[in-house]
Amino acid sequence: MRWRLTIEYDGSPYLGWQSQRGGGGVQDALSDAVEKLCGERLNVFGAGRTDRGVHARGQVGHLDLEDPNWTAEKVMAGLNFHLKPAPVAVLAVAPAREDFDARFSALARHYEYKIISRRAPLTVDLGHAWFVPYPLELAPMQEAAKIFVGHHDFTTFRSSQCQAASAVKTLSQLEVSQAGEVFTITASAPSFLHHQVRSLAGVLKVVGDGKFSLEQARTVLEACDRTQCPQVAPAEGLTFMHVDYPAELLDAPAEVRL
């Protein structure tokens, strides 16, 4: 039986989503919980491999359990019980079709990057936002974001360790909004390069603080040169929000949510 899980986590203490040889990945915490629940060490396969320190509110995973007697309620309750006190929670569980794959069935992935621009240090948002202790201008950030939307070679914005076969991606959304001292960057695409969202957030920030012009933002995109990326935003401001899938793959009994 294949199960679809919606997972939330605070990435601060983890080495990223992916399982590590010595442990320390979010995937390792989930595998530990699965083993305690059913006696088998099984992987929860995720929709995206978030980096060290990156958070998630709507990571999606799939898990295969051989015993047909499991119910969504028991899977969710059992995993959450065995995950304690780790900052990982299973928010929803649903039976999934055999051909559902959390990663390869995804149509789009959605991220948010939070910047807080103020003089006072962060307290409640510490570890969950990029602290910038001086003003940022919203309008030029919004204009710069438009430059990157569409089908481009994003070589400038990919990590040197990126394993993607091509740097050409289609960025369907990149928008910047402001609510008081909080700037939120929203990014959506079928898939992303390693460090792409953080690299784009870094460029938007230096445009917002006046250190980079709109023309420079356009030039670094066209350069297709990683060394031209002015700044990579820190991981703690990034959150994986949710994933889109074809409706027919979600046509299963209703999911169970907390």
Q: pLDDT tens, 94-106?
A: 999 999 999 999 9
pLDDT at 63 over 70: yes
Give pLDDT, residue 255.
56
User: What domains are defined for the chain?
Assistant: 2-105 (3.30.70.580), 108-241 (3.30.70.660)
pLDDT at 204 over 80: yes
Using alpha carbons, select from 129, 135, 134 the residue that is nearest to residue 201. Answer: 129
Give pLDDT, residue 90.
98
Share of the chain above pLDDT 90, in %: 90
Q: For residue 22, what are the CA distances in angstroms to 19, 52, 57?
A: 9, 15, 25
- What span, in angstroms and rounded, lies between the C-alpha atoms of 138 and 207? 9
Residue 30, φ and ψ in degrees, nearest 5: -70, -40
Neighbours of 254 (CB within 10 A): 9
Residue bearing the bigger pLDDT, 57 or 163: 57
Give pLDDT, residue 249.
87
Give pLDDT, residue 122.
98
Give pLDDT, residue 58.
97
Using alpha carbons, select from 62, 144, 57 the residue that is nearest to residue 98. Answer: 62
Give pLDDT, residue 68.
87
Structural contact between residues 157 and 144, judged by C-beta atoms closer than 8 angstroms:
no
Give pLDDT, residue 258.
52
Q: pLDDT tens, 43-57?
A: 999 999 999 999 999
Q: pLDDT tens, 173-191?
A: 999 999 999 999 999 999 9
Strand pairing report for 173-179 and 55-64: unpaired
Q: HSE of 14 in the Cβ direction (CA atoms, 13 Å)?
A: 24
Using alpha carbons, select from 199, 204, 176, 239 the residue that is nearest to residue 48. Answer: 239
- What span, in angstroms and rounded, lies between the C-alpha atoms of 155 and 167? 5
Q: pLDDT tens, 135-156?
A: 999 999 999 999 999 999 999 9
- What span, in angstroms and rounded, lies between the C-alpha atoms of 27 and 20? 8
Ramachandran area for residue 16 (φ above 0: left; ψ -120 to 50: alpha; else beta)? left
Give pLDDT, residue 246.
95
Average pLDDT over residues 62-83: 95
Q: How high does pLDDT run on average in the chain? A: 95
Helix segments in 185-236, DSSP class H: 196-208, 214-223
Residue bearing tokens 């990590």: 159
- Per-residue DSSP letters for 115-158? EEE-SSPPSTTTTSSEEE-S---HHHHHHHHHHH-EEEE-GGGS
- Per-residue DSSP letters for 5-73? EEEEE--TTSS-SS--TTS-SHHHHHHHHHHHHHSS----EES--PPTT-EEEEEEEEEE-S-TT--HH
Active-site residue set: 51
Give pLDDT, residue 160.
87
Give pLDDT, residue 250.
83
Give pLDDT, residue 192.
96
Average pLDDT over residues 232-248: 96
Neighbours of 114 (CB within 10 A): 19
Give pLDDT, residue 213.
96
Name the band, by pLDDT with cuts 50, 70 and 90, for residue 254. low
Question: Which pTM was predicted?
Answer: 0.94
Q: HSE of 102 in the Cβ direction (CA atoms, 13 Å)?
A: 24
